[in-house]
């Protein structure tokens, strides 16, 4: 896959999103909600054009964001968080799904298939060393409207590294994401949720917001498909960010679990969202 093709494909997606935004993102979102509210009992409605539009990333905005200060243009105005974002706005019964540690050719495609089946977008926090092996999976994420975040190159415990090493872990990963996905990541997640001051500072310098989670499925412990389903469904609430893993071990339980919990949450009236692109 040529980078130019990737970039143009990504641009088309973004252009479509911008057009929708110009037409009134709130209207698009409300239309989707009204549709669902008056909806029939069909468990997995085939996503029509209306549903697709209602779920476009541009129809939503995470809050709060740090604004549009460009690190390159005005480093002295850089806003550095002291804590990561843990939740999103819950308006409209929104939730967000995130998948860490991939991409992995054995599991990520199945998760993407399930998300596509229900016309849902998610965030994937990827590791650079996995991306270089499977760039095609990032191209697919771009094609299908998912948001890719930076999860470092080798998944180290950041507080054990010096600044230079942390910067290298983050920057190399942003570079390979840009190459494979078509744009640089705007979101960063520390491995193991182990943040430190340097990680916040360096992430901000690289143009990224720190994103954590609200509900941990602990799927990496392979607790059983049913347990993963229970954890997601009992933790579901407006504004919740769900953490799952699509790599790093045997993730077949994760793959099977989402096939159960995702339609359940959608039937319960939740809308899965991803952050809009900062401009």
Would you name the residues annotated as active-site residues?
A: 100, 245
Query: What residue ranges bind Zn ion (CB under 5 A)?
Result: 100-101, 191
Query: 25 with 58: CB under 8 angstroms?
Result: yes
Q: Can you tell me whether residue 258 is helix, strand or coil?
A: helix
Smaller CB separation from Zn ion, 100 or 169: 100
Q: How far is the CA of 151 from the CAs of 88, 113, 123, 260, in angstroms?
A: 19, 22, 11, 27
Two structure tokens written together for 161: 């590294």
Two structure tokens written together for 200: 């916040």
User: Cα separation of 162 and 77, whole Å?
Assistant: 24
Residue nearest to Zn ion (CB): 100
Smaller CB separation from Zn ion, 87 or 151: 151
Element (H, E) at 241: strand 241-245
The distance of closest approach from Cβ of residue 77 to Zn ion in the complex, given in angstroms and rounded to an integer, is: 31
Smaller CB separation from Zn ion, 36 or 100: 100
The distance of closest approach from Cβ of residue 40 to Zn ion in the complex, given in angstroms and rounded to an integer, is: 39
The distance of closest approach from Cβ of residue 185 to Zn ion in the complex, given in angstroms and rounded to an integer, is: 15
Smaller CB separation from Zn ion, 3 or 133: 133
Question: In sequence order, which residues have a C-beta less than 8 Å from that of residue 48 and are 6 or more positions away?
Answer: none
**CA of residue 249 relative to chain centroid, distance:** 20
The distance of closest approach from Cβ of residue 99 to Zn ion in the complex, given in angstroms and rounded to an integer, is: 10
> Cis bond leading into 103, ω under 30°?
yes
Smaller CB separation from Zn ion, 190 or 262: 190
User: Cα separation of 61 and 274, whole Å?
Assistant: 8
The distance of closest approach from Cβ of residue 152 to Zn ion in the complex, given in angstroms and rounded to an integer, is: 8
The distance of closest approach from Cβ of residue 191 to Zn ion in the complex, given in angstroms and rounded to an integer, is: 5
Smaller CB separation from Zn ion, 17 or 232: 232
Query: 166 with 191: CB under 8 angstroms?
Result: no
User: Cα separation of 199 and 185, whole Å?
Assistant: 15
Half-sphere exposure of 55 (CA within 13 A, CB side): 25
Two structure tokens written together for 156: 């180290």
């Amino acid at each position: 896959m040529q980078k130019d093709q990737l970039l143009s494909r990504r641009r088309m997606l973004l252009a479509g999103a911008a057009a929708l935004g110009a037409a009134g993102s709130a209207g698009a979102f409300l239309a989707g909600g009204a549709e669902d509210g008056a909806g029939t009992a069909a468990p997995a409605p085939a996503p029509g054009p209306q549903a697709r539009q209602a779920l476009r990333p541009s129809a939503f905005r995470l809050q709060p964001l740090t604004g549009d200060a460009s690190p390159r243009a005005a480093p002295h105005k850089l806003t550095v968080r002291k804590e990561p974002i843990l939740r999103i706005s819950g308006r409209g019964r929104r939730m967000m799904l995130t998948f860490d540690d991939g991409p992995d050719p054995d599991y990520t495609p199945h998760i993407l298939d399930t998300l596509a089946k229900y016309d849902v977008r998610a965030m994937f926090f990827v590791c650079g060393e996995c991306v270089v092996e499977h760039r095609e999976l990032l191209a697919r994420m771009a094609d299908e409207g998912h948001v890719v975040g930076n999860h470092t190159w080798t998944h180290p415990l950041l507080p054990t590294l010096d600044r230079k090493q942390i910067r290298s872990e983050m920057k190399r990963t942003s570079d390979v994401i840009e190459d494979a996905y078509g744009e640089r990541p705007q979101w960063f997640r520390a491995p193991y949720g182990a943040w430190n001051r340097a990680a916040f500072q360096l992430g901000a310098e690289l143009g990224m917001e720190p994103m954590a989670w609200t509900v941990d499925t602990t799927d990496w412990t392979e607790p059983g498909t049913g347990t993963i389903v229970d954890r997601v469904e009992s933790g579901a609430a407006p504004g919740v960010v769900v953490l799952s893993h699509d790599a790093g071990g045997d993730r077949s339980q994760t793959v099977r679990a989402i096939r159960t919990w995702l339609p359940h949450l959608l039937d319960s009236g939740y809308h899965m969202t991803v952050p809009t692109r900062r401009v």
